[in-house]
Each structure stands twice: as C-alpha cells, then as structure tokens.
C-alpha cells in the first residue's frame, strides 16, 4: 500500500519549487533513500477554473483547491507530493517529515496531509 504526503501552500509555484530544490539538496540522504519528492504544481484560482471548458480537466484542477480549503488553507497557490519509499521509516516518520516541511516552508504557509485525507 502506498503512503503519500500531499502538501498545499500559499507560495507561488516558482518560489515553492526553488524551496523544494533547496530542501532536497539539504536533506539529500532522506530524499535519495526514504522519500521521493515530486515537483510543485500550480493550484488555479476560482476565476481561472471558470475559464476551463473541459469538465474532466476542470474537476481535476478544482480538486486541489477544494481539498486545501476543506483543511483550512485559504488562497492556496501550489501543491506537491512526497511518497514514502522506505516503509520502515529509517530516516524519519511522516510526522517528522511534516514538521521538517513546516520548518522549512513556514508553518503559516503550508498544510500537510497524509494520503490526502488526514492533517498531520
């Protein structure tokens, strides 16, 4: 069974990606073995979503905005995912990973969800 950490932020996608690159470099032993961090993605605003004609594409893009709002993060601009590669958690567990991300990105800028369902 896959274990994923999904993060939603109020940071612009470009700035977030820069910060993620620094985090991966700073904690390379963690991200080369225990966890896989994926690139940042943009979360569209409601106005941008209104311009999407394709119903399936609109639903897919809107989901990130709705989830971030459901967990209390207003005006989310970006998101990214981390997959657990080492199920023995030899480097750090998911709660410790969430703390690391809040420390590095600013706790006021991010929410961290386990399997996109549970706030950690």
Q: What is the pLDDT of residues 59-77, one digit of tens each?
A: 999 999 999 999 999 999 9
- Residue 92: how many CB atoms within 10 A of its CB? 16
Closest CA to 105 of 36, 19, 31: 19
List of the chain residues with pLDDT < 50: none
Alpha-carbon distance 104 to 22, whole Å?
Answer: 9
Q: What is the pLDDT of residue 89?
A: 76
Q: pTM to 2 decimals? A: 0.93
Q: Identify the helix (H) or strand (E) that includes residue 97.
A: helix 94-105
Q: What is the pLDDT of residue 87?
A: 79
Q: What is the pLDDT of residue 70?
A: 97
Q: What is the pLDDT of residue 52?
A: 96
Q: What is the pLDDT of residue 91?
A: 80
Domain parsing of the chain, residue ranges? 4-119
Fold exhibited by the domain 4-119: Alpha-Beta Plaits (3.30.70)
Q: What is the pLDDT of residues 102-115, one digit of tens each?
A: 999 999 999 999 99
β-partners of residue 84 are 35
């Amino acid at each position: 069974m896959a274990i994923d950490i999904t993060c939603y932020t109020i940071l612009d996608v470009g700035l977030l990606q820069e910060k993620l690159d620094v985090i991966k470099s700073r904690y390379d032993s963690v991200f080369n073995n225990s966890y896989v961090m994926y690139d940042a993605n943009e979360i569209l605003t409601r106005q941008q979503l209104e311009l999407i004609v394709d119903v399936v594409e609109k639903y897919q893009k809107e989901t990130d905005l709705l989830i971030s709002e459901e967990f209390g993060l207003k005006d989310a601009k970006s998101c990214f995912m981390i997959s657990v590669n080492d199920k023995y958690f030899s480097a750090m567990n998911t709660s410790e990973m969430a703390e690391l991300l809040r420390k590095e990105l600013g706790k006021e800028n991010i929410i961290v969800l386990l399997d996109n369902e549970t706030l950690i």
